[in-house]
Structure formats: structure tokens, C-alpha cells
Amino acid sequence: MPELPEVEIVRKTLQPLLIKHKIIGVRIFLNKIIKAPTVQQFSKQIIGQTINDVQRIGKLLIFILDDYVLLSHLRMEGKYFLQKNDELIDWKHILLVLELNNKYELRYHDTRQFGTFHLQKINEYQKIKPYINIGPEPFDQKVTAEYLKNKWKNKNQSIKPTLLEQNIMSGLGNIYVDEVLFYARIHPESITKNLTITQLQNIINNAKFILNKSIKLGGSSINTYTSSLGVTGYYQQELQVHTRVNMPCFKCHTTIKKIKVNLRGTYFCSHCQIKY
């Protein structure tokens, strides 16, 4: 599942390859991935637009066009491939194709079909969904322990699902939440509102540390996720708890456990991580 580091690697990989190229055609093989506008309007409006930049907020890719922006969320297993228009591939899971003016195509591949696309006017997208639903990243100066404490002061659920929500602090998915909580020495079932300013600051500090390190290593290539153009990450070799069920903790040698927290598979060390 692509999280902030993986989406950032996709952005960095695609950006220099797409800038200044014009979209001359579009093929949509699954209508439900187009969330706005209608499929017919989407096809009409995107043709003739030049890709001027590829940006990102949280786990949302933002293709900056002339008059519009294309917002792309990869969800569980979405990925992009930039290939020559005559290159033969397995089309089974290709859901959308943007034809470019350089005889290449940007092909969106998604086996789970959970990805989404919004085409919105460039002067409006920051004022409407989905952009306005995404909170600041851990790197943002706005994200302080006081900010989180104020937002979560009445949050009576486990910290694991709280960190997976993207509206208050964005960018962390299932893999990195497990890792952040391990480094912060916080049990994933700790009640959010019980955490102190110091503990929340530890979450922020470790989120920044882990995300930065993962970006440097090309993200995590776990299960079916790899970056576009065959770029493979190596952060999975740094994982302390995630996927390490029944293996010894690197710090205390206690056996790593796996439980379900709000229906999400969750890995932790029962000795190192304290429940609050």
C-alpha cells in the first residue's frame, strides 16, 4: 500500500518525465474511478492540457495542468507506468491511460480498483474536496504537540486508527503508523485523548524521522507495491515491527505480536510499547 514516502517517490520519478508534455488523448476503462466531473466532461476537459508540474499533499498526487489539476489517490495498490504507446503489456488491470504528445502513455494500473481521480479547476481545487479533507503533514510547522492535543482532546479511540485518519495529520498509513508507535514506545491500543504532550511530540518526531528515512531509501516495497518505472524501495529492510509477527524484537527480544485494531492488522512489541 503506497503511503507518503512511496507517493513521494512516484512524484519524483514522474515529474521530470511528464513536465511540458501535452495530453492528446484519454482512455478510461473503469468509469467509477472518475469522481469528478462526469466521465464525459473529464475526457473533454483534460485533452489539450499540458502537464506543468507534479506535486503532492499527504498521499494525494497533484498533476498541475494549464486550466485544471488532476488529483490522483493511489489507495491500496495504484501505480503508474510511463510507456511507449506501442508497447504491449497486460491490460487486465490498466484502468486509465493518458496519451501524450511524445508517443508515450501514462498508464494507471490498479488491481484493487480503489484509486480515484478528480479533475478540478486550478483556481478552485484547494477550496473543495478532496484537498480540504487532507491535514498537514508531520513536516508542516503547524503540526505541533499542542496542535494534536487540541484536535484530539476528546478522541476516545485507539491511537492507531486516529493516526490513520488523514484530516488532522496526513501521510501515515498502516505500515508507518506501526513503526512510529514502536519508536515512540506507545501501544497501538492506547486511547488517543490520554496521550501527553511529550508522547504526542514523540509521535511527531518519529514520524518525521521514519518518513524522511523511507523517502531516502525509496520507500517500502511490500506485497504488491512497487514504484513506477520499476523503482524498488528498501525501507522494508528497516522495519522494526511491521510484518515481523512471531519474530524477536530487535531491542528487547520479546516476540512481536499481531492483533487487529479497528479491523487493521497491527504489529507491536508488548514489552517496548506501553498502553496509556
Low-confidence stretches of the chain (pLDDT beneath 50): 223-227
pLDDT of residue 226: 46
- Sheet of 104-109, strands arranged across: 50-51, 21-28, 94-100, 104-109, 79-84
Could you give the angle at the alpha carbon of 110 between the alpha carbons of 97 and 42, nearest 5°? 40
Residue 196 and residue 93 in one domain: no
pLDDT (tens digit per residue) in 208-251: 999 999 999 877 655 444 445 555 566 888 999 999 999 999 99
DSSP-derived 3-state class of residue 6: helix
Determine how β-strand 257-261 pairs with β-strand 264-268.
antiparallel
59 is catalytic: yes
87, 113, 133 — which closes off a domain? Answer: 133
**Contacts of residue 90, Cβ cutoff 8 Å, sequence gap at least 6:** none
Please answer whether residues 130 and 147 qualify as being in contact, where contact means their C-beta atoms are separated by less than 8 angstroms.
Answer: no
Tell me if 172 is assigned to some domain: yes
Q: Which helix or strand (DSSP H or E) is residue 216 part of?
A: helix 197-216
pLDDT of residue 76: 87
Residue 189 and residue 227 in one domain: yes
pLDDT of residue 253: 98
Q: Which helix or strand (DSSP H or E) is residue 116 part of?
A: strand 116-121
DSSP-derived 3-state class of residue 150: helix
Residue 226 and residue 259 in one domain: yes
Q: How many domains does the chain have?
A: 2
Indicate which residue of 11, 59, 79, 155 is catalytic. 59
Residue 58 and residue 155 in one domain: no
161 is catalytic: no
Look up the domain containing 201 and give its range.
145-268
Please answer whether residues 71 and 60 qualify as being in contact, where contact means their C-beta atoms are separated by less than 8 angstroms.
Answer: yes
37 is catalytic: no
107 is catalytic: no
Indicate which residue of 3, 77, 99, 179 is catalytic. 3
For 251, the grid coordinates are: 531491542
79, 98, 133 — which closes off a domain? Answer: 133
Indicate which residue of 149, 185, 193, 264 is catalytic. 264
pLDDT of residue 2: 78
The domain that holds 103 is classified in CATH as 3.20.190.10
Residue 73 and residue 124 in one domain: yes
Tell me if 166 is assigned to some domain: yes
Q: What is the DSSP letter of 135?
A: P
Please answer whether residues 52 and 68 qualify as being in contact, where contact means their C-beta atoms are separated by less than 8 angstroms.
Answer: no
CA atoms of 223 and 108, how far apart (whole Å): 18
Residue 70 and residue 39 in one domain: yes
pLDDT of residue 255: 98
